[in-house]
A and B are shown apart, each in its own frame.
Chain A
Amino acid sequence: MLSVANSTVPRVHLLGDLKRRCGGRKTVDVEAETVSQVIAALEARFPDVRQAGLGHMSVAIDGEIMTNADYVTVAPEAEIHFLPALSGG
């Protein structure tokens, strides 16, 4: 579920392709407690986001980049970014 912008729920920051798929918004506030709920909320509001494959992207929560983070808890006021998955050498 999405809410109006406020500072007590996680905020997803959008750049580039994701920003375009979310109607040009720079940020979207979501009522969610886990990363998978964040993804579900975004996809429900912006169906075009499904094409972005968020489930295969890395996610940064308050600056820390993670993979396989579906069930990681996101705190209220968390800053969330979705990023292309990396390949380290």
Chain B
Amino acid sequence: MTSTSFKHIGQRSIRPDGLDKVTGKARFGADYYLPGMLVGVVVRSPHPHATIKSIDTTAARAISGVKAVITAQDFPEISHEEAMSGESVVDFRDLSHNVMARDKVLYIGHPVAAIAATSQQAADAAAQALQVVYEIHPHVLNVDEAMASDAPILHSDLDPDGGEPTNIAKRHVFNRGDTKQGFARADVVIEREFTTKQVHQGYIEPHAVVADTGEDGRSVVWCSSQGHFLVRDQTAKVLGWERSRLKVIPAEIGGGFGGKTTIYLEPLAVLLSAKSGRPVKMVMSRDEVFMATGPGPGSRVRVKIGATSDGKITAAEVWMAFDAGAFKGSPVGAACQTVLAPYEIHDVSITGLDVVINTPKVAAYRAPGAPIGAFAAESVLDEIAEALSMDPIDLRYQNAVEEGSESTYGPTFKLIGFKETLEAIKEHPHYKATLGPNQGRGVACGFWFNAGLGSSATVSIHEDGTASVLTGSPDIGGSRASMALMAAEVLGIDETRIRPSIVDTDSIGFTDVTGGSRVTFATGMAVIEACGEIVEDLRGRAAMIWGAEPDDVEWQSGQAQHSDGSKPPLSLAEIAGSAAKTGGPIAATASLTARGVGPAFSTQVCDVEVDPDTGLVDILRYTTAQDAGRAIHPSYVEGQMQGGVVQGIGWALNEEYVYDDSGRMENPMFLDYRMPVASDLPMIDTVIVEVPNPGHPYGVRGVGEVGIVPPLAAIANAINGATDVRLRDLPMSPPRVVDALSSELNGATGTPAG
């Protein structure tokens, strides 16, 4: 199927939500107000690791205007229970203890109480008046400290090896072949060590919720999230409620990037509303977002790769330790699977450790774990290419996986487009452009699985021939436009006549999170299926009108056409206009678990200029090529590609959680937590590669995540091109670059593997 066979798919239609967003009319999480609404605040731990000896709420409750105070005592105790929640496994006990600390606090910002009052001032005063007595313990702030032999232990029940409790929650191992023999066949072997710091997803909109619990014990919740069904189900679990007691209404979302695939405020607001009998609104401040919601993990990674003189990789060993924050569950398992996935390597050993530390529990962040692994592996590959005097793309191409290749994590790849992305970059004018003084060029690649999961869609045809498409997938990247385009393609009507909406948990079938790059693929599949049912219905109604058999009716270009041409065509609007006479309302619903997921690959090239005096790295030019399978709406595919790159640039150059010795984050604001802004960046050029996914009716693969995987290494490799110095510790901020250049001048050669 080629793109020229589509009428609507591949068009750059105007996004249905665009006008409301540029005029300020769109309602985000904090934009909801109800009569009698209270202000809710969270009282948070000032200590990174302490036992709660007592909480006295008497003084807080006595303050005028305070209507409710909740602590751990108001939550049911939940035993350890791991279950699939969206793509990931969630331990509901840990989730509950992260929402509200029980006997211990495990990071600065850990909630210990929540208060609802008639004003912000009263709520803040009550928070100040709350008396909490702590017994303070030593803390650990990174994986090195946490794995030290004398480290304080956060949890008494983490012992992956069956011995004494440790801070290592889990050990992932992927071994295949014999790496010793593989390295023996190599002509060049390079082993390096890398570190990265915690980084935040950096969504502009803070977490916000309004909850209104009625006399009947049911609650309505308004919030922005990457999955309001997940919010409903996790909140119900934490509160011990039946799910039907909660209705969650999705607000527009001002960014999530994985960080809004869990709950923080929602159970607190529901409980405060239940206790006070009034609606409660809670909005995090920016420093609360930084100090209490999921960053991506920090890490230490060692990579060793061997290759023959003609560039064939013979073996690889990877060791990674990721911090999970206060509770187990870093994405190190995904990092193990993705770190070498673009390459065909038969002798491989990969170990990943999930390590708890006294910082906020990490949350998903765009291709969770993959950028960290790629930073290390793609940097080492670049060194191998350099050592072999090979073009870095040629080295990667020679080892690239393709259909039928066995992946390093086990399964065999189906049809994929990795080599096509390498070809796209090598043939791009960018790759041949001349560089100036202090300028360098770097390339890197990345892989992400993508996801399917559950989705629902309801499509209704109105009497005037327009249509509604309802889904349960929050739109974080323009997916409403893509839903309309796919519906338009099946129905054969213009997408401007279709209104796509995201509706609440009582108004559509269950739908998993907007994450895993899955919405256009999976929810789109539900839309296509529902529209297909509509078309069958329309054919039947046309047959009824004509006195023909349904098999005599074909659906083409939004019209029913008699197969022998004996009847004038009937448009969708004409059939819809007589719906009452032909069987009643025209609507269809599809709910499915989407199978046939197609993974994504990206290859990127970056030019930088490094100021040797200040260490400032200027991104001069950046081009990314990505296999989208099929670009339903090219503008939003390009937007996802560009967004991923930009977040990767921030991760590479400036972003990091800076903790002081007491465990307090020193930069919990965008002024000091330096994300790239438009003036820091060139236009990110995009090349959409389309190797259709055979598992989707239109060939869609997910596109949201893989774009963030290569930039960390691409930029590090470009800096090496400009300075002949390799940086292996993120971020590569001006002070670190200056230090590295100084070390090079003084004769040091980077960080050898330990």
A positions within 8 Å CB-CB of B: 13, 15-17, 19-20, 53, 56, 60, 62-68, 79, 81, 83-89
CA distance A62 to B407 in the complex (A): 12
| Nearest 5 CB-CB pairings of A with B | A89-B258, A88-B516, A84-B333, A16-B173, A87-B88
B84 touches A83 (CB 8 A): no
Q: For the complex, is B518 an interface residue (Cβ under 8 Å from A)?
A: yes
B176 at the interface (CB under 8 A from A): yes
Q: Which chain B residue has the least Cβ–Cβ distance from A80?
A: B411
| In contact, B82 and A63 (Cβ under 8 angstroms) | no
Contact A62/B172 with A84-B337, A87-B334, A89-B368 known, Cβ cut-off 8 Å: no
User: Which among A60, A79, A85, A86 has the highest number of chain B CB atoms within 10 Å?
Assistant: A86
Contact B595 A60 (CB under 8 A): no
Of B109-117, B447-455, B466-474, the one touching chain A: B447-455
Known A13-B410, A88-B517; contact A64-B364, beta-carbon cutoff 8 A:
no
A15-B175, A19-B175 in contact; A86/B414 too (CB < 8 A)? no
B304 CB to nearest A CB, Å? 18
- B509 partner residues in chain A, CB cutoff 8 A: none
Q: Closest CB of chain B to A75's CB: distance in Å?
A: 14
Are A89 and B705 touching (Cβ within 8 A)?
A: yes
Q: B595: which of A17, A66, A79, A86 is its contact (CB, 8 Å)?
A: A66
**How long is the Cα–Cα vector from A20 to B257 in the complex, in angstroms?**
36
The reply to whether B176 and A87 contact each other, CB–CB distance below 8 Å, is: no
Given contacts A84-B172, A86-B331, A88-B517, 10 further A-B pairs with CB under 8 A are: A15-B409, A16-B175, A79-B411, A81-B411, A84-B336, A86-B516, A87-B86, A88-B518, A89-B258, A89-B705
CA distance A20 to B175 in the complex (A): 10
Contacts of A84 in B (CB 8 A): 172, 333-334, 336-337
- Whether A87 contacts B258 in the complex (CB less than 8 A), given A16-B173, A67-B84, A67-B453, comes out as yes
Q: Which residue of B lies closest to A72 (CB)?
A: B595
B367 within 8 A of A: yes
**Within the complex, what minimum Cβ distance (angstroms) separates A14 from chain B?**
9
With A19-B175, A65-B449 known to touch, is A85 a contact of B411 (CB < 8 Å)? no
Nearest A residue to B599, CB-CB: A65
Q: How far is the CA of A65 from the CA of B334 in the complex (A)?
A: 13
The reply to whether B364 and A83 form a contact with Cβ atoms under 8 Å apart is no
Judge whether B261 is part of the interface by a CB distance below 8 angstroms: yes
Chain A residues, CB < 8 A from B704: 89
Contact of A83 among B86, B410, B515 (CB under 8 A): B410
Taking Cβ atoms with an 8 Å cutoff, the residues of B that contact A are 82-84, 86-89, 171-176, 201, 256-259, 261, 329, 331, 333-334, 336-337, 364-368, 409-414, 448-454, 513, 515-518, 593, 595-597, 695, 704-705
Are B412 and A63 in touch, CB under 8 angstroms?
Answer: yes
Q: A65-B449, A66-B452, A79-B411 are in contact. Are A87 and B174 (CB under 8 A)?
A: no
Contact of B410 among A64, A81, A88 (CB under 8 A): A81
Contact between B83 and A65 (Cβ–Cβ < 8 Å)?
no
Q: What distance in Å separates the Cβ of B691 from its nearest Cβ neighbour in chain A?
A: 15
Give A25 to B435 CA distance when docked, in angstroms: 53
Contacting residues, chain B, for A79 (C-beta < 8 A): 411-412
Chain A min CB distance to B360 (Å): 15
Contact A85 B597 (CB under 8 A): no
Q: Which residues of B contact A64 (CB under 8 A)?
A: 411, 414, 595-597, 695
Cα–Cα, bound, A85→B86 (Å): 10
Question: Contact: A16 with B174, CB < 8 Å?
Answer: yes
CB neighbours (8 Å) of B334 from chain A are: 84, 86-87
Please, how many angstroms separate the alpha-carbon atoms of A31 and B172 in the complex?
A: 28
Q: Is the CB of B411 within 8 A of A63?
A: yes
Chain A proximity of B340: nearest CB distance (Å): 13
Chain B residues in 8 Å Cβ range of A53: 82
Q: In the complex, what residue of chain B is closest to A59 when comparing beta carbons?
A: B411
Shortest Cβ distance from B650 into chain A, in angstroms? 15
**With A89-B365, A89-B515 in contact, is A68–B176 under 8 Å at CB?**
no
* Interface CB pairs A-B, < 8 A, 14: A56-B89, A62-B411, A64-B596, A65-B411, A68-B454, A84-B334, A85-B84, A85-B89, A86-B334, A86-B337, A87-B87, A87-B258, A88-B364, A89-B364
Contacts of A56 in B (CB 8 A): 82-84, 89
CA distance A60 to B406 in the complex (A): 12
Distance of A63 Cα from B404 Cα, bound (Å):
9
B647 → chain A closest CB, angstroms:
10
Q: Determine whether the beta carbon of A60 is less than 8 Å from that of B410.
A: yes
Please determine whether B367 and A89 come into contact, CB atoms closer than 8 angstroms.
yes
A16 and B160 alpha carbons, distance in the complex (Å)? 14
Contact A68 B593 (CB under 8 A): yes
Distance between Cα atoms of A22 and B65 in the complex (Å): 63
Among B337, B411, B452, the most chain A Cβ lie within 10 Å of the Cβ of B411
A15 to B454, CA, bound (A): 28
Give the CA-CA distance A67 to B454 in the complex, in Å.
Answer: 10
CB <8 Å contact, B258 and A88: yes
Chain B residues lying within 8 Å of A66, measured Cβ to Cβ, are 452, 595, 597
Measured CA separation A72–B629 after assembly (Å): 25
CB nearest neighbor in B for A15: B174
The smallest beta-carbon distance between B648 and chain A, in angstroms, is 13
| Alpha-carbon gap, A85 to B337, bound state (A) | 11
* Contact call B172/A17, Cβ cutoff below 8 A: yes
Taken together as a complex, chains A and B put the C-alpha atoms of A13 and B175 apart, in Å, by 12
- CB contacts (< 8 Å) of B596 on chain A: these are 64
* A residues less than 8 Å from B414 (CB atoms): 62-64
Whether B364 and A87, one on each chain, are in contact in the complex, defined by CB atoms closer than 8 angstroms, is yes
Determine if B413 and A63 form an interchain contact, defined as CB atoms under 8 angstroms apart. yes
| Nearest-Cβ distance from residue A25 to partner chain B, whole angstroms | 13
Residues of A contacting B333 in the complex (Cβ-Cβ under 8 angstroms): 83-86
A68 and B175 contact, Cβ closer than 8 Å, known pairs A87-B368, A89-B705: no
Closest to B407 in A: A63
Measured between alpha carbons, how far is A3 from B314 in the docked complex, in Å?
34
Residue in A closest to B160 when the chains form the complex, CB atoms:
A17
State the CA gap A84–B411 with chains docked (Å).
13
- For B518, the chain A residues whose CB sits under 8 A away are 88
- Smallest Cβ-Cβ distance to B83: which chain A residue: A56
Is A62 within 8 A of B412, CB to CB?
yes
Query: Which residue of B is nearest A65, CB measured?
Result: B449
Q: A84–B82 Cα gap in the complex (Å)?
A: 13
Set of chain A residues within 8 Å of B453, measured between Cβ atoms? 67-68
- Give every chain A residue within 8 A of B82 (Cβ-Cβ): 53, 56
A87 and B172 contact, Cβ closer than 8 Å, known pairs A64-B596, A64-B695? no
Chain A residue at smallest Cβ distance from B405: A63
| Also in contact, A86 and B451, with CB within 8 A (given A66-B595, A79-B411) | yes
